[in-house]
Amino acid sequence: MAIRILVGVKRAIDYAVKVQVKTDKSGVVTEGVKHSMNPFDEIAVEEAIRLKEKKVAQEVIALSCGPAQCQETLRTALALGADRAIHVEVTGKDYEMLQPLAISKLIAAVAKKENVDLVLLGKLAIDDDSNQTGQMVAGLLSWPQAVFASKVDIKDKTAEVMREIDGGSETLRVKLPAVITSDLRLNQPRFANLPSIQKAKKKPMAKMSPKDLGVDIKPHQEYLSYEEPPKRQGGGRVASVDELISKLKEKGLI
Amino acid sequence: MWSQTIRRLSTSALTRVRHPKLRRSTHYATLTDKDVSFFERLLSSGRTITNPDECLPFNIDYIKSCQGQSQLVLRPKTVDEVQAILRYCNEHQLAVCPQSGNTGLSGGSVPVFDEIILSLRLLNSIGNFDENSGVLTTDAGCVLEKLDTHVRQYGHIMPIDLGAKGSCLIGGNVATNAGGLRVVRFGSLRSAVLGLEVVLPDGSLLDCLTSIRKDNTGIDLKQPFIGSEGILGIVTRVALACPSLMSGVGLGFFACSSFEQILSTMRLARKICGETLSAIEFLDESTYNLSLKYLQRTNKPIESNKFYILIETMSSTDEQAKATLEKLATTALEKEFVTDGTLAQDLTQYKDIWAIRERVSDALVADGYVFKYDFSLPTSRMYKLVEETEERMKQFSNVGNVTGFGHLGDQNLHLNVTVKDGYSDDIKQALEPWLYEWVAKEHGSVSAEHGLGLHKSKYLELNKGKHSLELMKQMKHMFDPKCILNPYKVLPYKID
* pLDDT digits 0-9 by tens, A184-221: 999 999 999 999 999 999 999 999 999 999 999 999 99
Neighbour tally for B18: CB within 10 Å? 15
Averaged pLDDT, B179-206: 94
Looking at chain B, the domain(s) classified CATH 3.30.70.2190 span 248-360
Q: Which CATH number is B368-478's, of 3.40.50.300, 2.70.170.10, 3.30.420.10, 3.30.70.2740?
A: 3.30.70.2740
> What is the number of domains present in chain A?
1
Q: Per mean pLDDT, which range of B4-8, B167-171, B312-316 is the poorest?
A: B4-8
pLDDT for position B171: 97
How close A251 gets to chain B, by Cα (Å)? Answer: 34
Sort out which chain A residues have CB atoms less than 8 A from B330's CB and list them. 198
CATH of the domain at A22: 3.40.50.620
Averaged pLDDT, B93-99: 96
pLDDT at A146 over 80: yes
pLDDT at B496 over 70: no
E strand or H helix that includes residue B309: strand B307-315
Q: Which residue of B has its CA nearest to A32?
A: B247
Of A14, A32, A195, the CB nearest to B346: A14
How close A95 gets to chain B, by Cα (Å)? Answer: 22
pLDDT at B341 over 50: yes
Chain-chain contact of B301 with A192 (C-beta, under 8 angstroms): no
By the CB < 8 Å criterion, does B295 face chain A? Answer: no
How close B238 gets to chain A, by Cα (Å)? Answer: 29
Q: Give dist(CA B196, CA A118) in Å, integer.
A: 65
Distance from the first to the final alpha carbon of chain A: 67
Of A14, A39, A194, the CB nearest to B333: A194
Sort out which chain B residues have CB atoms less than 8 A from A37's CB and list them. 345-346
Strand segments, DSSP code E, in A67-167 are 84-89, 118-122, 145-155, 158-165
Q: Give the range of the structural domain holding residue A188, as residue numbers without chain letter.
A: 3-251
CATH class label, B248-360: alpha beta
Averaged pLDDT, B377-383: 95
DSSP state of A34: -
Over the stretch A30-85, which tens digit does the pLDDT of each residue have? Answer: 888 899 999 999 999 999 999 999 999 999 999 999 999 999 999 999 999 999 99
What confidence category does residue A235 fall into, taking pLDDT thresholds of 50, 70 and 90? Answer: confident
Burial B321-359 (b: 16+ CB within 10 A, else e): bbbbbbebbebbbeeebbbbbbbbbbbbbbebbbbbbbb
pLDDT at A154 over 70: yes
pLDDT for position B7: 46
Chain-chain contact of B299 with A17 (C-beta, under 8 angstroms): no
Query: What does DSSP say about strands B307-315 and B248-256: parallel, antiparallel, or unpaired?
Result: antiparallel
Q: Which architecture characterizes domain B2-122 according to CATH? A: 2-Layer Sandwich (3.30)
DSSP state of B466: H
The fraction of chain B above a pLDDT of 90, given in percent, is 84
pLDDT for position B77: 95
Q: Fold for domain B126-241?
A: 3.30.465
Chain-chain contact of B351 with A16 (C-beta, under 8 angstroms): yes
Chain-chain contact of A193 with B345 (C-beta, under 8 angstroms): no
Looking at chain B, the domain(s) classified CATH 3.30.43.10 span 2-122
Looking at chain B, the domain(s) classified CATH 3.30.70.2740 span 368-478
Total-model pTM: 0.86
Looking at chain B, the domain(s) classified CATH 3.30.465.10 span 126-241
Q: Which residue of B has its CA nearest to A192?
A: B342
Pick the residue of B253, B346, B353 with the most A CBs within 10 A to test the interface with A by mutation.
B346
Q: What is the DSSP string of B69-124?
A: --S-EE---SHHHHHHHHHHHHHHT--EEEESSS--SSS-SS-SSSPEEEE-TT--
pLDDT for position B495: 41
Over the stretch B122-136, which tens digit does the pLDDT of each residue have? Answer: 999 999 999 999 999
Over the stretch A72-116, which tens digit does the pLDDT of each residue have? Answer: 999 999 999 999 999 999 999 999 999 999 999 999 999 999 999
Whole-complex ipTM: 0.83
Of A14, A191, A194, the CB nearest to B347: A14
